[in-house]
């Protein structure tokens, strides 16, 4: 049986595309025929007509080429769809087999992953526990090693040892570090206790000293306040100011903090201020008395001048009025009560007011 030669896809495409080759020479003829055509201006009707007819002809030829393209391509599109459909059918046939094989393989793969994960977790747990063990015996992690400068012979422990050392070797190393740590911790606690006791004793002494100072200050304050009280001063019930009447003299806090010399100087100053304050009161009273006397003298002068300007009858009336202003004595007998009334009636005759 002779072998039937089936053209390849590229050969089929090449054969079909040669159908367009016959058009190429015609296109060159059309270029030579139509490209020289131009329209001079708006009034060039012949040029416009020639260009319009040529355009119509070229458009018709291009449309026929497009129609031919769709015709030739239709078969290839149908073929592509048929290939896609058949490929999906075959894929669906293979899918159950592929899924079965994948499930079987994943069982083992997942178990291997689980085993590796458990190993890694165990490894990390060991590293964490060893890290904590080193910290518990005073080691510090600096860069990529654990260090404690108090242990010269064991001052460096590389982090890689967390993974590489066997349990026996690591435990042996930790045992040595623990003994050293316990010794250092014992020394540290002893030193801390000694320092704490010293601090407590110091604070107790400071409290005693402070209490003694407060007692001295209070005794000093009481004595000095007694001196000020004898001078007439008093302590404010709201503030710590000491007042002499209306002026502020000093504060109790200032009093108790003053030295003997400072207090002596301050006491002289306070006495001077009190004396000045009292003198000001005397001076003010004298000034008030003087002004009052001047006022009274002026009033007497005015009255005397007023009386001098009066007529004789007015003087008698004024005098009688002044007599009637005097408080009347209380008479215990009818006789002298009547006599008093006669006198008042007599005097009232000389005034122009009711002499009741």
Write the pLDDT tens digit of every residue in 273-332: 999 999 998 999 898 898 898 888 888 888 888 888 888 888 888 888 888 888 888 888
Maximum CA pair distance of the chain?
193
pTM above threshold 0.85:
no
Q: Per residue in 32-72, pLDDT tens?
A: 888 888 888 878 888 888 888 888 888 887 787 777 777 76
pLDDT computed for residue 186 by the predictor: 54
Q: 180 near 154, Cβ under 8 Å?
A: yes
Q: 151 near 179, Cβ under 8 Å?
A: no
143: left (phi over 0), alpha (psi -120 to 50) or beta: left
DSSP track, 42-98: TT-HHHHHHHHHHHHHHHHHHHHHHHHHHHHHHHHHHHHHHHHHHHHHHHHHHHHHH
Q: 139 near 148, Cβ under 8 Å?
A: yes
Residues of the chain with pLDDT under 70: 1-24, 72, 83, 94, 151-155, 183-191, 352-356
pLDDT computed for residue 272 by the predictor: 93
């Amino acid at each position: 049986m002779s072998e039937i030669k089936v053209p390849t896809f590229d050969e089929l495409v090449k054969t079909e595309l040669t159908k367009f080759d016959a058009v190429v020479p015609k296109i060159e003829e059309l270029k030579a025929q139509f490209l020289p055509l131009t329209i001079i201006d708006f009034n060039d009707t012949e040029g416009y007509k020639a260009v319009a007819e040529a355009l119509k002809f070229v458009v018709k030829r291009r449309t026929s080429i497009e129609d031919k393209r769709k015709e030739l391509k239709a078969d290839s599109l149908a073929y592509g769809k048929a290939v896609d459909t058949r490929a999906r059918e075959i894929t669906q046939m293979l899918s159950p087999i592929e899924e079965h094989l994948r499930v079987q393989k994943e069982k083992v793969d997942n178990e291997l992953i689980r085993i590796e994960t458990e190993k890694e977790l165990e490894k990390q747990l060991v590293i964490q526990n060893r890290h904590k063990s080193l910290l518990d015996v005073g080691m510090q992690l600096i860069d990529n090693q654990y260090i404690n400068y108090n242990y010269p012979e064991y001052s460096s422990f590389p982090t890689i040892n967390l993974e590489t050392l066997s349990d026996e070797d690591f435990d042996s190393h930790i045992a040595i570090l623990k003994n050293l740590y316990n010794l250092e911790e014992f020394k540290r606690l002893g030193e801390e206790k000694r320092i704490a006791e010293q601090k407590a004793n110091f604070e107790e002494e400071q409290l005693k000293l402070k209490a003694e100072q407060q007692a001295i200050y209070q005794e000093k304050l009481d004595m000095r306040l007694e001196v000020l009280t004898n001078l007439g001063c008093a302590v404010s019930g709201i503030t710590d100011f000491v007042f002499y009447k209306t002026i502020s003299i000093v504060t109790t806090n200032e009093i108790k903090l003053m030295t003997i010399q400072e207090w002596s100087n301050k006491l002289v100053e306070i006495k001077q201020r009190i004396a000045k304050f009292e003198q000001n009161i005397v001076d003010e009273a004298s000034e008030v008395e003087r002004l009052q006397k001047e006022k009274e003298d002026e009033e007497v002068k005015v009255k005397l001048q007023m009386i001098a300007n009066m007529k004789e009858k007015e003087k008698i009336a004024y005098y009688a009025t002044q007599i009637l202003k005097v408080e009347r004595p209380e008479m215990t007998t009818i006789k002298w009560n009547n006599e008093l009334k006669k006198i008042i009636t007599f005097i009232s005759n000389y005034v122009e007011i009711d002499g009741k």
